[in-house]
Amino acid sequence: MSNSDAQKLLWIDGAYVESGSGGFFETTNPATGVTLARVAQATADDIDRAVVAARAALGPWKAKSGVERGRILHRLSQLLREHRDELAELEMRDGGKPIAETPEADVDSGADCLEYFAGQAASIQGEYQEVDGGFFYTRPEPLGVVGAIGAWNYPLQIACWKSAPALAAGNTIVFKPSELTPLSALRLAELAKQAGVPDGVLNVVPGFGDAGQAITGHADIDKISLTGGADTGKKVMAAAAGTLKTVSLELGGKSPLVIFDDADLDNAVSGALLANFFTQGEICTNGTRVFVHEAVRGAFLDKLLARVAKLKIGNPADADTDVGPMISPEHGQIVLDYIQAGKDQGAQLLTGGERIQVEGCEHGVFVAPTVFDGCRDDMTIVTEEIFGPVMSVLSFTDEQEVIQRANATEYGLAAGLFTRDLERAHRVIGELEAGICWINHYNITPIEMPFGGIKGSGIGKENSRRALDGYSRIKSVFVAQGAVEAPY
Ligand code: NDP
């Protein structure tokens, strides 16, 4: 059985290999329903093979200097840039993301990440301190074999956000993409080989939740890094406890965006649009609870609705499409059910709220960008992560009141606010319970800035130098100077 565009095998030890079970699944274009490829489905045995390859590759990879690992990662970042159009199209077809987004949001952000950690690889260093009786130093060491599991909304970016810091720090990796979007991670692995990443260092094993479970429970994997839903995060953490693995979790959210009465309303509307409708609303950090000061609510909504009306829903392959299909008909139905719940519970639908038919894309479930006003804090659309283009507008008048309401959620991924009052901006940010915050912007994630949630949204940080801490352990070494005095 051979690998081809129409048939993708597992990527283990630097080559395409068949799944031990011979099983396949299909990955489809969410807009058209067209099958893009049959993809080999990894089982626990395949995960085991990948871990064996990753373990064998670990010694030589971690023995390379940081400069050398960085040089290879840098070549990979260049290859991503050279293949920008191809990768952007692949991500559009496999994930239904508008082609207007994918070159920058997916490919460039993945390449930036590889380039950033290429530069960091040589800077990983320990400490030295003189103390009574001698001195000590610390050695940052790789953790070993990393098991990484990705979600479907940013497949290539997630693969890069996990593999770049892991590899820079000297680990090897077994990566399982979501079964809904396996293609770009496999392409990343091919390009990694071309860039000089040694066989076994980066393995990609498409599969379902059972393959993820085989990773989390594997005795020879040292760390789990998951991007996924909160329920999956709890299961992964529980499973990893059996072998006491380090875990980092990037989970869901229900983030607040607070618009004060002195905000620049045009910017605030831009922020609210970015916080809700980019990638059809399928973004973990989205600010879906939009708290607007009562004094500016009318003006904000007028400007907002005028701009929402201009969003073009359509085939993600069209350059002028802003909003593509939901990742799958099943997920589309979940989003439509949430919208129905909003209507049933008395939220006022201002725009959207329905499925749109797109010519040539009859298979796809396209949900019109939806704005609900008059929302209450206890409504289902306000408390649960929808992962679709659904904005809930809530009214407030008092700063302390809005802080308390913004924090009244199990999640703590992100938060944003718009105000011209600098003192208030920093005071409020200081009280918001969220791992990623924006003042007068939303959803911008430079690679240099730590990314990760608190509370029910996760553990650990991706991006920035902090990510390296999640892929390293510190060995402390005391060196005696002088005689050893023992009381015996
Ligand atoms: P899921 O939690 O359903 O799946 C995430 C990954 O985990 C998939 O690869 C999945 O496999 C795998 N998986 C499922 N069950 C298990 C298990 N028991 N053990 C190990 N692995 C398992 O999330 P989605 O893919 O539906 O992604 C959407 C979610 O991801 C949203 O909640 C979103 O907020 C969150 N997310 C968080 C981000 C962040 O950085 N904080 C960024 C992006 C998304 P498969 O699906 O292939 O069966």
Considering only CA atoms, which residue is closest to atom 13 of ligand 1?
Answer: 209
Amino acid identity of residue 76, one-letter, is L
One DSSP character per residue, 57-99 reads HHHHHHHS-HHHHHHHHHHHHHHHHHTHHHHHHHHHHHH---T
Place of tokens 């929302």: 375
Copy the structure tokens of residue 262.
Answer: 């002195």
Task: Using pLDDT thresholds of 50, 70 and 90, give the confidence band for residue 346.
Answer: very high
- CB of 325 shorter than 6 A to ligand 1: no
Q: Which atom of ligand 1 is nearest to the CA of 458?
A: 41
- CB of 228 shorter than 6 A to ligand 1: yes
166 or 4, higher pLDDT: 166
- Digit-coded pLDDT (tens) for 278-322: 999 999 999 999 999 999 999 999 999 999 999 999 999 999 999
Mode of pairing for the β-strands spanning 246-250 and 458-459? antiparallel
Pocket residue to mutate for ligand 1, from 113, 178, 223, 248, most atoms within 8 A of Cβ: 178
Considering only CA atoms, which residue is closest to atom 39 of ligand 1?
Answer: 250
Task: Using pLDDT thresholds of 50, 70 and 90, give the confidence band for residue 122.
Answer: very high
- Digit-coded pLDDT (tens) for 461-488: 999 999 999 999 999 999 999 999 999 9
Q: Please give the distance, rounded to the nearest whole angstrom, from the Cα atom of residue 50 to the centre of ligand 1.
A: 21
Mode of pairing for the β-strands spanning 15-17 and 414-418? unpaired
Q: Which of 383, 277, 286, 388 is nearest to 337 (CA)?
A: 388
Q: Which atom of ligand 1 is nearest to the CA of 207?
A: 47
Q: Backbone phi, then psi, for 464, in 5-degree steps?
A: 65, 175
Q: Is the pLDDT of residue 143 over 90?
A: yes
- Indicate the SS3 state at residue 462: strand
- Digit-coded pLDDT (tens) for 165-216: 999 999 999 999 999 999 999 999 999 999 999 999 999 999 999 999 999 9
Q: Please give the distance, rounded to the nearest whole angstrom, from the Cα atom of residue 239 to the centre of ligand 1.
A: 15
Task: Report the pLDDT averaged over residues 57-70.
Answer: 98
Q: Which atom of ligand 1 is nearest to the CA of 250?
A: 41
Q: Please give the distance, rounded to the nearest whole angstrom, from the Cα atom of residue 332 to the centre of ligand 1.
A: 16
Q: Please give the distance, rounded to the nearest whole angstrom, from the Cα atom of residue 53 to the centre of ligand 1.
A: 25
Task: Using pLDDT thresholds of 50, 70 and 90, give the confidence band for residue 87.
Answer: very high
Q: Which of 392, 383, 425 is nearest to 304 (CA)?
A: 392
- CB of 434 shorter than 6 A to ligand 1: no
**Which residues have a catalytic role annotated?**
162, 250, 284, 462
d(CA 56, CA 224): 19
Considering only CA atoms, which residue is closest to atom 4 of ligand 1?
Answer: 228
- CB of 445 shorter than 6 A to ligand 1: no
Q: Is the pLDDT of residue 251 over 80?
A: yes
d(CA 465, CA 405): 33
Considering only CA atoms, which residue is closest to atom 43 of ligand 1?
Answer: 284
Report the pLDDT value the prediction gives residue 265, as an integer from 0 to 100. Answer: 98
Q: Is the pLDDT of residue 3 over 90?
A: no
Q: Is the pLDDT of residue 70 over 80?
A: yes
- Digit-coded pLDDT (tens) for 419-475: 999 999 999 999 999 999 999 999 999 999 999 999 999 999 999 999 999 999 999
Report the pLDDT value the prediction gives residue 200, as an integer from 0 to 100. Answer: 98
- CB of 227 shorter than 6 A to ligand 1: yes
Place of tokens 């392959």: 317
Q: Which atom of ligand 1 is nearest to the CA of 413?
A: 41
Cβ contacts of residue 3 below 8 Å, gap of 6+?
9, 16
Mean pLDDT of the chain: 97
d(CA 457, CA 271): 21
What secondary structure letter does DSSP report for 316?
T
The DSSP element (H or E) to which 266 belongs, if any, is helix 265-274
- CB of 300 shorter than 6 A to ligand 1: no
Pocket residue to mutate for ligand 1, from 109, 149, 409, most atoms within 8 A of Cβ: 149
Cβ contacts of residue 257 below 8 Å, gap of 6+?
271, 272, 275, 287, 289, 290, 291, 415, 416, 417, 418, 442
Task: Report the pLDDT averaged over residues 94-112.
Answer: 98
First to last CA, the chain: 69
Cβ contacts of residue 445 below 8 Å, gap of 6+?
109, 285, 436, 451, 463
- Indicate the SS3 state at residue 276: coil
Q: Which atom of ligand 1 is nearest to the CA of 453?
A: 41
- Digit-coded pLDDT (tens) for 220-249: 999 999 999 999 999 999 999 999 999 999
- Digit-coded pLDDT (tens) for 158-171: 999 999 999 999 99
Share of the chain above pLDDT 90, in %: 99
Task: Using pLDDT thresholds of 50, 70 and 90, give the confidence band for residue 71.
Answer: very high
Q: Is the pLDDT of residue 1 over 80?
A: no
d(CA 341, CA 483): 75
Q: Please give the distance, rounded to the nearest whole angstrom, from the Cα atom of residue 107 to the centre of ligand 1.
A: 21
**Pure H helices in 3-152:** 44-63, 66-82, 84-95, 102, 109-121
Q: Please give the distance, rounded to the nearest whole angstrom, from the Cα atom of residue 153 to the centre of ligand 1.
A: 9
| Residues pairing with 24 in the sheet | 40
CB 221 within 8 A of CB 174: yes
- CB of 450 shorter than 6 A to ligand 1: no
Task: Using pLDDT thresholds of 50, 70 and 90, give the confidence band for residue 5.
Answer: confident
Q: Please give the distance, rounded to the nearest whole angstrom, from the Cα atom of residue 403 to the centre of ligand 1.
A: 29
Share of the chain above pLDDT 70, in %: 100
Considering only CA atoms, which residue is closest to atom 15 of ligand 1?
Answer: 209
Amino acid identity of residue 342, one-letter, is G
Q: Please give the distance, rounded to the nearest whole angstrom, from the Cα atom of residue 251 to the centre of ligand 1.
A: 8
Report the pLDDT value the prediction gives residue 303, as an integer from 0 to 100. Answer: 98
CB 247 within 8 A of CB 216: no
- CB of 96 shorter than 6 A to ligand 1: no
Considering only CA atoms, which residue is closest to atom 25 of ligand 1?
Answer: 151
Q: Is the pLDDT of residue 2 over 90?
A: no
- Digit-coded pLDDT (tens) for 272-284: 999 999 999 999 9
